[in-house]
């Protein structure tokens, strides 16, 4: 069953089309992330669902009921904001109790619920403090607690972790995932952080300029991006533009500045003469010293000569920047290995990749 369903929902601000008419749904119990660059319409979409912004067109359904015209309070949704939005003059206890008091719950039941929910976000001892006596991460947990305390069926999160440092953010990501799994609450999260989207989501809605670019699982989005925009927004992408020379079934031959390249064409239907983009992920590129004899094992038989400009150590992997002879820069990622040291900076190198790791996708 769909928890949320949007049909042709759009929003215009004067001349700005903040959201083009879009359709999508979130299933019950799912964790879906709205991901996209600044200004792509993520907050607008979340606010339209929450009832804080009226859509210019379209309909919104929650559990099959049309709530397009319902006020925010009647939608039964919880919302966690980026800036915590805790009430500064109230204690943590009162902040969390607030939505329950509004609902006229008996006092002892409120006390029990607040205690439970503070245990759940692992802050059992801070009920009597004020928000300003807490760290950013603790305030974030309190806003989450205030949201889950009244058991909403759906929680909307607008960049809730944006203000936290990397370590705390990763910890909170795990925490939110744990609560999601334990409580079975449907969650719709907004972020512009691709790592957060990849690690937390069942599905990602990738947005670009008010449109939905692609809706897919993290794995699909990384492995089979539909467009060059999607390929470069998720992970690092080597993009090579070219023209289709031949396309049959799931294989294509594409004419590029690097020569005629073989490519996998599973998701792209472009035919002869059309402009396309080829995607090769950094971890799929093999790099060897220029003295290596060509291997040709499953490759195009083409090896691309270049110069190693830079190598960056990223823990267990090393990222190399290679300038090819024609001027194009490619990113190569390899496991760090003491047994197979990388060539020196400035050394001539040869790159190649397997045709199945070179994907033909739509040009933007």
Ligand X SMILES: Nc1ncnc2c1ncn2[C@@H]1O[C@H](COP(=O)(O)OP(=O)(O)OP(=O)(O)O)[C@@H](O)[C@H]1O
Binding site for Mg ion (CB under 5 A): 43
Q: Is 79 in the site for ligand X (CB under 6 A)?
A: no
Min CB(119)–Mg ion separation in Å: 31
Q: Alpha-carbon distance 217 to 229, whole Å?
A: 16
Judged by CB under 6 A, which of 13, 69, 151, 291 binds ligand X? 13
Q: Among 13-21, 163-171, 193-201, 301-309, which window interacts with ligand X (CB under 6 A)?
A: 13-21
CB 43, min distance to Mg ion, A: 3
How far separated are the first and last CA of the chain, in Å rounded? 34
42 lines the binding site for ligand X (CB under 6 A): yes
Q: State the DSSP H helix or E strand holding residue 34, giving kind and residue range, or none if neither.
A: strand 31-35
Least distance (Å) between residue 337 CB and ligand X? 39
- Is 162 a binding residue for ligand X by CB under 6 A? The answer is no
**Residues 254 and 242: beta-carbon distance below 8 Å:** yes
CB of 83 to ligand X, least distance (A): 12
* Residue 141 binding ligand X, by CB under 6 A: no
Residue number, 39 or 72, with CB nearest to Mg ion = 39
* Concatenated DSSP letters of 290-326: TTSPP--SSS-S--EEEEEEEEEE-SSEEEEEEEETT
- Those residues with Cβ within 8 angstroms of residue 293's Cβ, 6 or more apart along the chain or in another chain: none
Helix (H/G/I), strand (E/B), else coil: 2 = strand
Closer by beta carbon to ligand X, 68 or else 82: 82
Which residue in 5, 9, 31, 40 binds ligand X (CB under 6 A)? 40
What's the CA gap between 96 and 148, in Å, rounded?
A: 9
Question: Which residue, 38 or 316, is less far from ligand X as judged by CB?
Answer: 38
DSSP 134: S
What string of DSSP letters covers 198-231? Answer: HHH-SEEEEEETTEEEEEE-HHHHHHS-SBHHHH
Per partner kind, with CB cut-offs from 5 to 8 A, the member of ligand X, Mg ion, none near residue 192 is ligand X
* Residue 36 within binding range of ligand X, rule CB under 6 A: yes
Counting other chains too, the contacts that 334-343 makes at CB distance below 8 Å and 24 or more residues apart are 334/283, 334/287, 342/287, 342/308, 342/311, 342/318, 343/287, 343/289, 343/308
Question: Judged by CB under 6 A, does residue 316 bind ligand X?
Answer: no
Q: Which stretch binds ligand X (CB under 6 A): 36-44, 58-66, 297-305, 311-319?
A: 36-44
Contact segment (CB under 6 A) with ligand X among 12-20, 21-29, 140-148, 306-314 equals 12-20
Shortest Å distance, C-beta 8 to ligand X: 18
Rounded Cα distance between 73 and 75, Å, is 6
- The rounded distance, in Å, linking the Cα atoms of 283 and 117 is 43
Tell me if 52 contacts ligand X by CB under 6 A.
no
Dihedral, CA of residue 278, residue 235, residue 3 and residue 186, to nearest 10: 160
CB of 44 to Mg ion, least distance (A): 8
Q: How far is the CB of 43 from ligand X (least distance, A)?
A: 3
* Site residues for ligand X per CB under 6 A: 13, 16, 18, 36, 38-44, 192
């Amino acid at each position: 069953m769909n928890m949320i369903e949007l049909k042709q929902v759009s929003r215009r601000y004067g001349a700005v089309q903040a959201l083009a008419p879009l359709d999508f749904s979130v299933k019950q119990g799912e964790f879906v992330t709205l991901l996209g660059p600044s200004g792509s319409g993520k907050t607008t979409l979340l606010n339209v669902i929450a009832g804080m912004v009226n859509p210019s067109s379209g309909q919104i359904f929650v559990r099959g009921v049309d709530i397009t015209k319902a006020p925010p309070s009647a939608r039964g949704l919880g919302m966690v904001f980026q800036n915590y939005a805790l009430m500064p003059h109230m204690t943590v206890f009162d902040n969390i109790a607030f939505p329950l008091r509004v609902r006229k719950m008996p006092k002892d039941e409120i006390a029990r619920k607040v205690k439970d929910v503070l245990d759940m976000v692992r802050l059992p001892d801070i009920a009597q403090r004020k928000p300003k006596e807490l760290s950013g991460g603790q305030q974030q947990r309190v806003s989450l607690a205030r949201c889950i305390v009244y058991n909403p069926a759906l929680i909307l999160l607008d960049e809730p972790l944006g203000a936290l440092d990397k370590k705390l953010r990763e910890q909170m990501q795990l925490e939110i995932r744990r609560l999601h799994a334990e409580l079975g609450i449907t969650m719709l999260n907004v972020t512009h952080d691709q790592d957060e989207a990849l690690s937390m989501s069942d599905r990602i809605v990738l947005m670009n300029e008010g449109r939905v670019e692609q809706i897919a699982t993290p794995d699909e989005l990384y492995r089979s991006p539909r467009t060059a925009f999607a390929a470069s927004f998720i992970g690092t992408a080597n993009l090579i533009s070219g023209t289709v020379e031949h396309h049959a079934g799931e294989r294509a031959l594409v004419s590029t500045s690097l020569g005629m390249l073989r490519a996998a064409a599973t998701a792209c239907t472009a035919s002869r003469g059309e402009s396309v983009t080829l995607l090769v992920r950094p971890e799929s590129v093999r790099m060897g010293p220029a003295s290596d004899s060509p291997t040709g094992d499953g490759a195009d038989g083409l090896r691309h000569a270049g110069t190693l400009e830079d190598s960056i150590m990223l823990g267990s992997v090393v990222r190399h920047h290679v300038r090819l002879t024609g001027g194009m820069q490619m990113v190569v990622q390899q496991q760090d290995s003491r047994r197979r040291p990388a060539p020196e900076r400035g050394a001539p190198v040869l790159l190649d990749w397997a045709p199945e790791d070179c994907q033909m996708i739509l040009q933007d």
